[in-house]
Amino acid sequence: MAQYRNNGEFFTERRSIIDVICKSDGKNDHGSRVSRRSRRFGRFTKQRLQRWAFLLAALLSISLTVYGLKMFFQAKIEPRFPLLHKLPEERNLREDIFGSDVGRPPKSKRRKQHFPCEVGLQESVDVIIEPKDYINYTRFSLEYVYQEEEKPEHNLFEPRFGGHQTLEEREKSFYAINQTLHCGFVKGTTGYSSTGFDLDEKDKAYMYGCKVVVSSCIFGSSDFLRRPTSRLISQYSKDNVCFIMFLDNQTLSKLSSEGNSPDDRGYIGLWKIVIVKSLPYEDMRRTGKVPKFLSHRLFPNSRYSIWLDSKMRLNTDPLLIIEYFLWRRKAEYAISNHYDRHCVWEEVLQNKRLNKYNHTAIDEQFNFYQSDGLTKFDPLAPNNPLPSYVPEGSLIVRAHTPMSNLFSCLWFNEVDRFTSRDQLSFAYTYLKLRRMNLDRPFHLYMFKDCERRALVKLFRHRLLPSSPDTA
């Protein structure tokens, strides 16, 4: 009996009954060879089919992979150049209004990672000394409009916290000269109630005695209370710097229900709590611009102030911040650039995309600024006055010099007149002030956003302070 090898093992060959019959009939092996040949052909055909199927599957897999990569990179590129796929007429119209979309942030849900960088602060407040010639800046006298008289042409006169500044008065206010200008806290004529932002007389007396101030605010319960990190602040600063947190009664009640009630002296941690009555605007974001920009009005005897948005916690000694950003740079105003955007055109598009404010109001403001000379930021221009035209205004360091106070008033007046989105009006205000006072420089220092992140810890808002139409 014959044997054959299959997979390394020997098996006895079992001949079929057909082979036996064929052999017994006197026929040769032809039938058996044909049978084996047909089996070999079947095996050969099956192997070829398997190889072709494998090859087709591999080609299909490669094609899908290439297509997927193409779609992935196209998705990355299209948000940066979306106008390339629009009709020429539509593309030209948008570019005429807003400029090219090149450089816009991609429409991705994944946020870019931004990290702090090293800041060369002094090791201790004991080694810092205010430079003797530091106050040698442009000198002029500013007075403010405290009360407006009802004008005959206004039949429906209603007092406003920012007053009723005319376009002529607005234009003159940009000159760095002895003048009286609108800068908030404008009272109405006799018989009208207060225009808002009323403070207790005891709090006013305390604030008048402040020489260096760190201030913040929460209105409309929009944020949690973030206490400065006490262990990172020197005892000297704790004794000589005023830490003021402005709240409304609604926010105070909310914080108290969460266990953050002021002590017998009116403090929560290092924050001295000051209650604001009769808020001047229904828009809480706009109301927050009052302490943000007008610290020289709220603290008339202070020499320096640091503004801190309520979404941040201060992790650095304030005197070290003043030394680094003002004294060492010989600046009278310091603010960080934005972490993503540097052109007002980009900021306008982003505000519209996220519905940060009423689109018509944004257009009105933006068109006005363009008609008055606002141009796009060119990162390649050799003589840019600033490294960016869009600030990240959550940390502002100021010396209360005449030029710094004038800029703060002008910036506030733009927020009062147009939208509360102060990043839209920053570059216009600075460039116009600079253009109209070529012989009187304003020493504004714009530092890196990563430096800001090294000095504070950023948190998210509790909720939006108001609706997109007014925020």
pLDDT, one tens digit per residue, over 223-262 is 999 999 999 999 999 999 999 999 999 999 999 999 999 9
What percent of the chain has a predicted confidence (pLDDT) above 90? Answer: 66
Does residue 72 form part of some domain?
Answer: yes
137 in the same domain as 280? yes
**pLDDT tens across 187-213, in order?**
987 777 789 999 999 999 999 999 999
- Non-local CB neighbours of 109 within 8 Å, separated by 6+ positions: none
Q: How many CB atoms lie within 10 A of CB 111?
A: 8
Does residue 52 form part of some domain?
Answer: yes
Q: Is residue 102 pLDDT above 60, yes or no?
A: no
* Residue-level pLDDT at 113: 76
Strand-pair partners of 4: 11
- The band of 66, judged by pLDDT with boundaries at 50, 70 and 90, is low
Distance CA 403, CA 407 (A): 6
Q: What is the number of helices (H) and of strands (E) in the chain? A: 16, 14
Strand-pair partners of 450: none
145 in the same domain as 67? no
400 in the same domain as 263? yes
- Non-local CB neighbours of 241 within 8 Å, separated by 6+ positions: 212, 213, 214, 318, 319
* Residue-level pLDDT at 57: 80
Distance CA 438, CA 348 (A): 28
Structural contact between residues 195 and 280, judged by C-beta atoms closer than 8 angstroms: yes
pTM of the model: 0.76
* Residue-level pLDDT at 67: 66
* Residue-level pLDDT at 463: 60
158 in the same domain as 35? no
Distance CA 412, CA 416 (A): 6
Distance CA 175, CA 178 (A): 9
Q: Which of 77, 95, 112 is the last residue of a domain?
A: 77
Residue 445: its H or E element? strand 444-447
Q: Which whole number is the average pLDDT over 310-330?
A: 96
235 in the same domain as 352? yes
131 in the same domain as 42? no
**CB crowding 357-394: b at 16 or more within 10 Å, else e:** bbeeebeebbeebbeeebeebeeeeeeeebebbbbbbb
- Non-local CB neighbours of 301 within 8 Å, separated by 6+ positions: 208, 209, 210, 211
* Residue-level pLDDT at 367: 97
In 3D space, the residue among 116, 48, 190, 171 whose CA is nearest the CA of residue 436 turns out to be: 171
**pLDDT tens across 69-78, in order?**
655 555 444 4
Q: Which of 77, 100, 117 is the last residue of a domain?
A: 77
Distance CA 115, CA 450 (A): 6
Q: Which whole number is the average pLDDT over 432-460?
A: 95
Does residue 179 form part of some domain?
Answer: yes
| Structural domain for 171, as ranges | 125-458
238 in the same domain as 152? yes
In 3D space, the residue among 364, 425, 362 whose CA is nearest the CA of residue 391 turns out to be: 425
Q: Whole-number mean pLDDT of the chain?
A: 83
* Residue-level pLDDT at 185: 97
Does residue 23 form part of some domain?
Answer: yes
- The band of 148, judged by pLDDT with boundaries at 50, 70 and 90, is confident
372 in the same domain as 223? yes
In 3D space, the residue among 375, 363, 356 whose CA is nearest the CA of residue 428 turns out to be: 375
In 3D space, the residue among 417, 416, 421, 295 whose CA is nearest the CA of residue 354 turns out to be: 421
Where do the H-state alpha helices sit in 281-396? 284-287, 289-293, 295-298, 318-322, 344-353, 359-371
265 in the same domain as 404? yes
28 in the same domain as 148? no
Where do the H-state alpha helices sit in 209-288? 235-240, 249-257, 284-287
170 in the same domain as 33? no
Does residue 31 form part of some domain?
Answer: yes
- The band of 158, judged by pLDDT with boundaries at 50, 70 and 90, is confident
- The count of domains in the chain is 2
69 in the same domain as 181? no
Q: Is residue 171 pLDDT above 60, yes or no?
A: yes
Does residue 65 form part of some domain?
Answer: yes
Q: Which of 61, 77, 93 is the last residue of a domain?
A: 77
Does residue 199 form part of some domain?
Answer: yes
Structural contact between residues 281 and 195, judged by C-beta atoms closer than 8 angstroms: no
* Residue-level pLDDT at 150: 72
Q: Is residue 290 pLDDT above 80, yes or no?
A: yes
Q: Tokens representing 434?
A: 């600079």
Does residue 82 form part of some domain?
Answer: no
